[in-house]
């Protein structure tokens, strides 16, 4: 093992030995190298005459650039747009996002959490988490209605065992099934990985405050039984909650600092929250209970995480990070977000109104939804894939089929005034397929 990795492991162990147990073999061996990056950083500080260290081209003491590129980026300096970013992410952006986490999750209060490490959006963040925390054979608990890429990231790439439970019991979360599956996993292993994706993709469901507390209580009981819990909080659609009584904070806030054997990992991205999907800026943040001084513990995890980023993509886009940083510090930022939130909320409310009329009951049944970009319906009497193709070929309407019976509808893509036509057409298409 590299001495730098051993040193980080000792820091982690002294503050929370269970966290060290949870790290994968890769995670235990990860470190942040002191090679070219460290030497370049030292040269940037001290090389007052010539700096011949880093792999960028310079001209007259400035970054070399093509005018045709910089001409597309008014308002940015070449070093803001074209230079490498640190593998950790731009320091000011990391600080700004942590402030956002604390602002949006006030119940975190004085709890110690890490400084976020920047990733190339959540998909890359999950891949980093997979490398750091998942060994082949580890059991990962997911709901039956879930984002398909989890299996690719954890099941295929990390060879984990994906275990599913029913997301719903009627119109609420199936807490009993969640608890039963946790107990079954606990009978086989002392390391339990749980994916908590709210608002859920594909259903657009977020738990009530009571349901969120129940989830936290179940995980706490397992930790008290000396099981290690890794709670992956995929908060891709965070903040887009449209009903009263729904948990508006991340479940990360409940789990952070709850027990030394519970490691909460928050996966964020500006992509959906700030409507900048292609900029691909995400964040990994850790929260648990530690002994002694928490900062050195979290810095050790941050170094391992940055080492994993370094070993995969080197660093996320500098330009994207600079754009998000300016966005977060814009005086109109919160007002702009509120305006777009209200647009999506009105669409969700319009779908609720349409479904409440009962006119579609013969052909479809909606799953509970209260947040996010999506909602799902269970179609009656036809196969979901047949319906998807029929809608596409005859009516020019695209939806996603999930299994035999479900389709996902992204109301994020459809204006409010077109929603009735969309649902009317889906209803007609189901009736037509039934007659075939």
Residue among 226, 205, 306, 320 nearest 274 (CA):
320
- Distance from C-alpha of 289 to C-alpha of 287, rounded to nearest angstrom: 7
CB 214 within 8 A of CB 228: no
pTM of the model: 0.95
**Of 96, 117, 99, 106, which Cα lies nearest the Cα of 327?**
96
Q: 55: part of which helix (H) or strand (E)?
A: none
The first and second tokens of residue 268, run together, are 């964020």
> Is CATH 3.40.640.10 the right assignment for the domain spanning 3-32+87-328?
yes
pLDDT of residue 320: 98
CATH number of 334-434: 3.40.190.80, 1.50.10.100, 3.40.50.620, 3.90.1150.10?
Answer: 3.90.1150.10
The pLDDT tens digits for 216-264 are: 999 999 999 999 999 999 999 999 999 999 999 999 999 999 999 999 9
Q: State the pLDDT confidence band at 62, using cuts at 50, 70 and 90.
A: confident
Model confidence at 343, pLDDT cuts 50, 70, 90, reads very high
For residue 334, is pLDDT > 90?
Answer: yes
Distance CA 328, CA 100 (A): 9
* Eight-state DSSP code of residue 395: I
Domain ranges of the chain: 3-32+87-328, 334-434
For residue 210, the tally of other CB atoms under 10 A from its CB is 12
Whole-angstrom distance, CA of residue 144 vs CA of residue 200: 11
């Amino acid at each position: 093992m590299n001495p730098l990795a051993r040193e980080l492991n000792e820091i982690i162990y002294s503050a929370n030995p269970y966290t060290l147990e949870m790290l994968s073999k890769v995670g235990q061996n990860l470190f942040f190298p002191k090679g070219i990056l460290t030497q370049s950083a030292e040269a940037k500080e001290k090389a007052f005459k010539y700096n011949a260290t880093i792999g960028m081209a310079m001209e007259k003491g400035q970054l070399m650039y093509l005018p045709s590129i910089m001409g597309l980026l008014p308002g940015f300096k070449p070093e803001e747009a074209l230079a490498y970013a640190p593998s950790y992410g731009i320091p000011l952006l990391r600080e700004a996002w942590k402030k956002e986490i604390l602002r949006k999750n006030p119940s975190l209060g004085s709890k110690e959490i890490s400084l976020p490490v920047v990733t190339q959006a959540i998909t890359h963040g999950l891949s980093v988490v997979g490398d750091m925390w998942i060994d082949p054979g580890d059991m990962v608990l997911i709901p039956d209605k879930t984002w398909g890429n989890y299996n690719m990231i954890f099941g295929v790439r990390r060879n984990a065992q994906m275990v599913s439970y029913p997301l719903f019991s009627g119109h609420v979360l199936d807490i009993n099934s969640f608890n039963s599956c946790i107990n079954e996993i606990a009978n086989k292993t002392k390391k339990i990985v749980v994916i908590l994706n709210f608002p859920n993709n594909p259903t657009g469901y977020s738990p009530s405050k009571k349901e969120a507390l129940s989830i936290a209580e179940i995980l706490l009981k397992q930790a008290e039984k000396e099981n290690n819990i890794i709670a992956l909080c995929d908060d891709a659609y965070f903040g887009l909650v449209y009903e009263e009584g729904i948990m508006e904070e991340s479940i990360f806030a409940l789990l952070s600092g709850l027990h030394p054997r519970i490691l909460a990992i928050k996966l964020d991205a500006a992509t959906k929250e700030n409507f900048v999907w292609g900029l691909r800026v995400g964040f990994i943040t850790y929260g648990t209970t530690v002994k002694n001084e928490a900062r050195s513990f979290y810095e050790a995890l941050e170094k391992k995480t940055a080492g994993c980023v370094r070993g995969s993509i080197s660093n996320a886009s500098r330009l994207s990070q600079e754009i998000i940083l300016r966005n977060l510090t814009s005086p109109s930022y919160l007002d702009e977000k509120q305006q777009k939130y209200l647009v999506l909320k009105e669409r969700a409310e319009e779908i609720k109104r349409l479904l409440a009329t009962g006119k579609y009951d013969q052909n479809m049944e909606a799953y509970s939804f209260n947040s996010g970009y999506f909602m799902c319906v269970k179609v009656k009497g036809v196969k979901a894939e047949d319906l998807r193709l029929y809608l596409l070929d005859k009516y020019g309407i695209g939806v996603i089929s999930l299994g035999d019976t479900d389709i996902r509808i992204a109301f994020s893509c459809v204006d409010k005034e077109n929603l009735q036509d969309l649902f009317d057409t889906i209803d007609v298409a189901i009736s037509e397929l039934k007659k075939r």
